[in-house]
Chains A and B, each alone.
Chain A
Amino acid sequence: MDERQWPAEWMRGALEVCVLAVVARAETYGYEIAQRLQDAGLGTVKGGTLYPILTRLERDGLLTSAWRAGEAGPGRKYFAITPAGERALRERTEDWVTFTERATTLMTTRSSQP
């Protein structure tokens, strides 16, 4: 996937749902979430952007977290999705698809209504 960065305001709109989607696939930790987002072509997501989102999702009860010791180094904080998180992910994904379809239709339709 290409390495391009997307406008910050687009990322603000999409990132929270994308982080939920990454954690929903498998329990994972902050740095790996950033890697997955990059692998998906969403560009580089810095720790300073990612952890406030994870904090908010956990505060809202959509994620849980647990620290585990790594082989070496200062340990990793693993995040897992909760049932409420699964529900939120489904709803927000549906909304996102509806929104982007409408926006795409508007952006790509040249002929105006008579």
Chain B
Amino acid sequence: MTTDLDTYRQRLLVELRRRGVPGDRVGEAIAEVESHVAESGEDPVTAFGEPDAYAERLSESLHLPAGRAGRAGPGGRTGLANAVVAAVSFAAAGLIGGALAGDGPVAPRAAAGITGLAALAGLVAWLARYQRRAQNRVIDPRTGTDLRFPAPRAALLTFAGAMAALLVIMLITHL
């Protein structure tokens, strides 16, 4: 029952997003489903139908402007975000790589390495913030806080873990 509800919440979120429904309305819709099935004891699919069909009906009743359907999030800025991520990653990798591989005085190399690491840390923080904004935050109307979904957090942890592993490998191969 709870896993069914969790799955339904996730699928409804995706389907409403796909139709450009704003985050606060997505939060309302998910809270309505939770509240209703808690009272009726029904399975979410029995009460509300498949998430894609229900999302379609809900977005119709919201009368969203035609252009909003389609991609969720600030699509126009995705290209810029990719460019920034690529540029900072290359610069940071260059700095760290140079610091590890180069010879000469230690102090400037250490400074370059630390700058590179700081740039990477900043990039990770910025990506997390960008993702939250791009998500057009789904607000739980009952608490006024973000609705919690496990998936994005897991993705960010995976990303951070991969970066850490990469650094460890670089350090091992160079020492």
Contact = CB atoms under 8 A, between A and B. Distances in A.
Given A74-B142, A75-B31, A47 B36 contact: yes
Q: Tell me the interface secondary structure of chain B in the complex.
A: helix
Interface residues of B, number: 27
Contact of B61 (A59, A67, A75, A77): A59
Contact of A77 (B35, B49, B60): B35
Contact of B32 (A34, A46, A51): A51
A29 B48 CA distance: 16
B35 A74 contact: yes
B32 A77 contact: yes
A75 B142 CA distance: 7
Interface string A78-91: 00000000000000
Given A30-B35, A75-B31, A69 B142 contact: yes
B149 to A, nearest CB: 16
B36 A51 contact: yes
A73 interface: yes
Interface of B: 28-29, 31-40, 42, 46-49, 53-54, 57-58, 60-63, 141-142
